[in-house]
Amino acid sequence: MGLRADGYALCVAIYAPFSPVWLRELPAVQALRMMLIQNFVRTVDVRMVAELGT
Protein backbone atom coordinates (compact mmCIF):
# COMPACT_ATOMS: atom_id res chain seq x y z
CA MET A 1 0.00 0.00 0.00
CA GLY A 2 2.94 2.34 0.54
CA LEU A 3 3.70 2.71 -3.17
CA ARG A 4 0.07 3.49 -3.96
CA ALA A 5 -0.07 6.14 -1.23
CA ASP A 6 3.21 7.61 -2.47
CA GLY A 7 1.88 7.68 -6.03
CA TYR A 8 -1.29 9.48 -4.95
CA ALA A 9 0.72 11.98 -2.89
CA LEU A 10 2.98 12.68 -5.87
CA CYS A 11 0.04 13.19 -8.22
CA VAL A 12 -1.71 15.49 -5.75
CA ALA A 13 1.44 17.62 -5.50
CA ILE A 14 2.05 17.68 -9.25
CA TYR A 15 -1.56 18.58 -10.12
CA ALA A 16 -1.81 21.27 -7.42
CA PRO A 17 -2.53 24.76 -8.76
CA PHE A 18 0.86 26.08 -7.64
CA SER A 19 2.89 23.36 -9.42
CA PRO A 20 4.50 24.09 -12.79
CA VAL A 21 2.42 22.81 -15.70
CA TRP A 22 5.44 21.19 -17.37
CA LEU A 23 5.56 18.60 -14.56
CA ARG A 24 2.16 17.27 -15.67
CA GLU A 25 3.49 16.81 -19.18
CA LEU A 26 6.34 14.47 -18.20
CA PRO A 27 5.78 11.00 -19.68
CA ALA A 28 6.56 9.31 -16.34
CA VAL A 29 3.95 11.41 -14.55
CA GLN A 30 1.34 10.69 -17.22
CA ALA A 31 2.11 6.96 -16.97
CA LEU A 32 1.82 7.03 -13.16
CA ARG A 33 -1.51 8.85 -13.35
CA MET A 34 -2.92 6.37 -15.88
CA MET A 35 -1.71 3.41 -13.81
CA LEU A 36 -3.40 4.79 -10.70
CA ILE A 37 -6.64 5.50 -12.58
CA GLN A 38 -6.75 2.05 -14.20
CA ASN A 39 -5.75 -0.07 -11.21
CA PHE A 40 -6.95 1.55 -8.01
CA VAL A 41 -10.14 3.00 -6.57
CA ARG A 42 -9.88 5.54 -3.77
CA THR A 43 -12.45 5.24 -1.04
CA VAL A 44 -13.22 7.37 1.97
CA ASP A 45 -14.18 5.81 5.28
CA VAL A 46 -17.21 7.84 6.35
CA ARG A 47 -16.63 6.88 9.99
CA MET A 48 -13.25 8.59 9.87
CA VAL A 49 -14.73 11.69 8.24
CA ALA A 50 -17.42 11.82 10.93
CA GLU A 51 -14.79 11.60 13.68
CA LEU A 52 -12.72 14.37 12.13
CA GLY A 53 -15.78 16.61 11.86
CA THR A 54 -16.56 16.43 15.57
pLDDT at 47: 66
The DSSP secondary structure of 26-51, one letter per residue, reads -HHHHHHHHHHHHH------HHHHHH
pLDDT at 49 over 60: no
pLDDT digits (tens, 9 = 90+) for 6-48: 888 898 899 999 999 999 999 999 998 888 888 876 666 666 5
Q: At what angle do helices 2-14 and 27-39 cross, to 10 degrees?
A: 130
pLDDT at 26: 95
Q: Where are the chain's structural domains?
A: 2-53
pLDDT at 52 over 50: no
